[in-house]
Amino acid sequence: MVQESGARVLCMVQESGARVLCMVQESGARVLCMVQESGARVLCMVQESGARVLCMVQESDARVLCMVQESGARVLCMVQESGARVLCMVQESGARVLCILEESGARVLCMVQESGARVLCMVQESGARVLCMVQESGARVLCMVQESGARVLCMVQESGARVLCMVQESGARVLCMLQESGAQVLCMVQESGARVLCILQESGARVLCMVQESGARVLCMVQETGARVLCMVQESGALVLCMLQESGARVLCMVQESGARVLCMVQETGARVLCMVQESGARVLCMVQESGARVLCMVQESGARVLCMVQESGARVLCTVQESGARVLCMVQESGARVLCMLQESGAQVLCMVQESGARVLCILQESGARVLCMVQESGARVLCMVQETGARVLCMVQESGALVLCMLQESGARVLCMVQESGARVLCMVQETGARVLCMVQESGARVLCMVQESGARVLCMVQESGARVLCMVQESGARVLCTVQESGARVLCMVQENGARVLCMVQESGARVLCILQETGAWVLCMVQESGARVLCMVQETGARVLCMVQEIGARVLCILEESGARVLCILEESSERVLCILQEIGARVLCILQESGRRVLCMLQESGARVLCISRKQCTGPVHRKTKQCPVLEHIAQKLQPELYFRWVLVSLAEREWRRREWHRVERRGGAQSVMEGLRVSWRGPERHGEEQSVVERNRVSWKGSECHGGSQSVVEGLRVSWRGSECHGECRGGAQCVVEGPRVSWRGSECHGECRGGAQSVVEGLRVSWRVSLRGPVCLGGAQCVMEVPRVSWRVLWRGSVCHGGAQSVMESVMEGLRVSWRVSWRGSVCHGGAQSVMESVVEGLSVSWRGPECRGGAQCVMEGLRVSWRV
């Protein structure tokens, strides 16, 4: 297909054993090529205007991922071959180079940072670790060699005002380094049951804090040169770590009490907020980032504490009411209910979290950028209403015993829907009623992407924040996590590159065959989630004036694509019973959706220009109108380019998408209530063998639902449209208790008319909505010790560590709580308050948080690598 007006060229060649997809877009100068052969994949994307290059070559024994971004001058390369991995990241503006070379028996980690002239190298061999850090501008050399039973720390400090003290005793280590000229602060305190590692580095604006305490400790450092304040107070029952950095406007606060930990990090220049509250029985992780204002709220219940940080243009407020900027924070905590509400008028944010005995409600309404995030989980009946007058919006959620209603009324534009697209912000909210699962992705002028996908045995949490170029990626699989790395044994590849004007997140997981890709440009998103084992593909592209939702569900072999433009929409269904390739290319002024399906040799292309829509569905080896029985069509594929395109495309749409659909899908069972399909959940159409609901609007599509063999148009939500699966004339996926959820659509689950995974005691939390499956991690249908927490969402570890309401072994700390969210290690290495084997060193204390390895005084397997350290998995 060649389209000249906008100077785009789209070529697709699909053969028996190979796929080739190439797209050249001249005006914006993007090139996307994907070649997928029997044993190799090649994905290349070149974008000239912003000068981005993303290449991934995946062959039988090797992967290569290269990303070059010229304007910001970043280069990320990962080469993974049979016996060696290489990870290289070059960032020119800040001049950082991170390289990991992992061979059969050795690890090499190198980090070069030019502006501050730092070099960090770590070589880990079978029986010894070596950590070397060379910093030239200040002439610093730090080398640590850890042998089988001995530690050596050497530090050379020449020209400028550095202090390094290291005490290593039988059960305690203390390492502190204060460097004034370059404004670094590195403190690590590790005693019999406690570790504290804090790094504040001003020039590059880094903040890393890990705190683990079991006794009582007080560490305070004040560094005035760059207006930095680092304070850590740890008392018998409480730990407080606060880091305030004025010049770069960073705020880091960590509060750890007897039964709760709180980690909060606010970074002002780039407007980041990351908060994690870990309570005796619950953790809460929330991130809110506003263009001109930040709001961070955390509620920690066991001791009836409230930690809220409101960060305004030049002011921070902790646990208070701040009037000048017109913010009001009220928190009511009762015996069995928590209520946290915060109204912020100037920037028009509303954050409300209601958590009662068996239910949580988290709602965020942000007006100026038009954000809406709602998570509802209820077991009884509740009503939450919020009215925000400035922009005439009303958000009301009424959740009763068997029905949930979420409506957002926006008067100026007079729309009622669960998907809102405002002038400068996009909001995707999917609310699942009783099970309370929520997948929300918000992208605004601050350019933020937060996506959480939870599969049967896997979680994916990715946060990308652009202005300061931070990337946090965590992929949690059946028993392993991957943080921005490559993991070969389980065949996962996760690469996240965050550019000045664009983000690229790709996660390929082969064993379970999941692919999550997010390409976020200046004015567009692309979210693709391919899950092979359950065979679902969910893709959403949302641009300034158009939405594209595509869902491919393979069990029933459905392909649903909706292209909804400012004044027009195109809906097509392509069904195929075998594997497929889904590609979404979204340009500044044009959208291209391509689906390649190999077995039936079907090609679905959707090219949507600024003022024109083109939809083509064609088959290779197809010579004419498809015959119902013979499946032959006598018109060649290339006629689409020579004849009248619109007529041909319209004819193909009717013939293949309607007649073929009805013939192949519904000829076996006549459904008087309609030939319901996944499409039906999104729009009311099939009343019988023909379509009657042609004129329904998008709202009706999203609103109508099925209760049995007929479409009652009742209270079911968009979720059911995406989730319900029809087996015969009845909906077998309906949970009589109304517990259907969005995640189940892409994840599977209901094994009949009842929800077998329901927690009878109403113990499901918002976490379960995002994470799934107490049925797997618990001993029964109830949460035995009440130890579940939001932290379980990003990871899976507490199910192992927590046997009841406490963690056996007592070795957990704030560092473990944080690190465990990224890995699964302490369950292996820590048997009590100390690590068996005694081989830990200062580096191990840090690295082990990421790696987990030493069962004894030395590494028995010898093949471990840094990447395994990030991924977990020492197989002794």
pLDDT at 306: 33
Are 342 and 297 in contact by the 8 Å Cβ rule? The answer is yes
No. of helices (H) and no. of strands (E), the chain: 14, 61
Query: What burial letters (b/e) apply to 15-39, b meaning 16+ CB within 10 Å?
Result: eeeebbbebbbeebebbbbbbbeee
pLDDT at 567: 29
Rounded CA gap, 135 and 748, in Å?
A: 52
Are 248 and 268 in contact by the 8 Å Cβ rule? The answer is yes
Rounded CA gap, 192 and 377, in Å?
A: 41
Per-residue pLDDT reduced to its tens digit, 123-152: 333 333 333 334 333 333 333 333 333 333
- Strand-by-strand arrangement of the 305-311 sheet: 294-300, 305-311, 316-318
pLDDT at 437: 25
C-alpha distances (whole Å) from 313 to each of 14, 53, 290, 294, 821 are 54, 36, 11, 9, 31
pLDDT at 718: 24
Are 406 and 376 in contact by the 8 Å Cβ rule? The answer is yes
Per-residue pLDDT reduced to its tens digit, 379-432: 222 333 333 323 233 333 333 222 233 333 332 222 222 222 222 222 223 222
Rounded CA gap, 661 and 691, in Å?
A: 12
Are 772 and 765 in contact by the 8 Å Cβ rule? The answer is no
DSSP state of 654: I
Look at phi and psi of residue 353 and say left if phi exceeds 0, alpha if psi is from -120 to 50, else beta. Answer: beta
Q: E strand or H helix at 242, and its extent?
A: strand 238-245
Per-residue pLDDT reduced to its tens digit, 703-747: 223 332 233 332 222 222 222 222 222 233 333 222 222 222 222
Sign of CA dihedral 304, 310, 316, 320: negative
Residue 158 CA to chain centroid, in angstroms? Answer: 44
Structure tokens at 286: 């929330």
pLDDT at 180: 33
DSSP state of 94: T
Are 473 and 484 in contact by the 8 Å Cβ rule? The answer is yes
- In terms of Cα–Cα distance, which of 689, 665, 476 is closest to 577? 665
CB neighbours of 224 closer than 8 A, spacing ≥ 6? none
pLDDT at 2: 33
Rounded CA gap, 597 and 677, in Å?
A: 19
Are 474 and 461 in contact by the 8 Å Cβ rule? The answer is yes
- In terms of Cα–Cα distance, which of 388, 505, 481 is closest to 867? 481
SS3 210: strand
pLDDT at 823: 24
CB neighbours of 219 closer than 8 A, spacing ≥ 6? 187, 189, 196, 232, 233, 234
Rounded CA gap, 480 and 815, in Å?
A: 19
Rounded CA gap, 542 and 564, in Å?
A: 9
Strand partners, 254: 241, 263
DSSP letters, 661-680, are HHHHHHSSS--TT----HHH
Checking DSSP bridges between strand 151-157 and strand 140-146, what pairing results, if any?
A: antiparallel
Q: For 153, how many CA atoms within 13 A lie in the half-sphere containing its CB?
A: 15
Residue 412 CA to chain centroid, in angstroms? Answer: 33
- In terms of Cα–Cα distance, which of 468, 549, 537, 565 is closest to 746? 537
DSSP state of 792: G
> Cα 776–782–787 angle (5° rounding)?
85
Amino acid in the structure at residue 638: H
Are 467 and 291 in contact by the 8 Å Cβ rule? The answer is no
pLDDT at 394: 35
Biggest CA pair distance of the chain = 85
SS3 720: helix
pLDDT at 470: 27
CB neighbours of 306 closer than 8 A, spacing ≥ 6? 298, 299, 300, 319, 331, 333, 340
C-alpha distances (whole Å) from 360 to each of 52, 396, 449, 830, 832 are 42, 15, 23, 34, 34
DSSP letters, 605-636, are EEEE-SS-EEEEEEETT--SSPPTTT----S-
Rounded CA gap, 115 and 475, in Å?
A: 32
Rounded CA gap, 652 and 656, in Å?
A: 6
Query: What burial letters (b/e) apply to 219-250, b meaning 16+ CB within 10 Å?
Result: bebebeeeebbbebebeeebbbbbbbbeebbb
pLDDT at 253: 40
- In terms of Cα–Cα distance, which of 536, 640, 596 is closest to 2? 640
Structure tokens at 4: 């000249």
Mean pLDDT per 10-residue section of the chain, whose length is 876 residues: 33 36 36 37 37 37 37 37 37 36 38 36 37 36 35 34 33 34 36 34 31 31 32 34 35 36 35 32 32 33 32 29 30 31 35 34 33 30 30 32 30 25 27 25 30 31 29 30 27 30 34 34 33 34 35 34 34 33 31 35 36 35 38 35 39 41 33 27 27 26 29 28 26 29 23 27 22 23 24 23 26 26 25 26 26 28 24 23
Structure tokens at 775: 């049925």
SS3 658: helix
CB neighbours of 643 closer than 8 A, spacing ≥ 6? none
By CB atoms closer than 10 A (0-12, 13-18, 19+), residue 658 is middle
Residue 202 CA to chain centroid, in angstroms? Answer: 28
Rounded CA gap, 725 and 738, in Å?
A: 15
Amino acid in the structure at residue 502: A
Domain ranges of the chain: 169-233
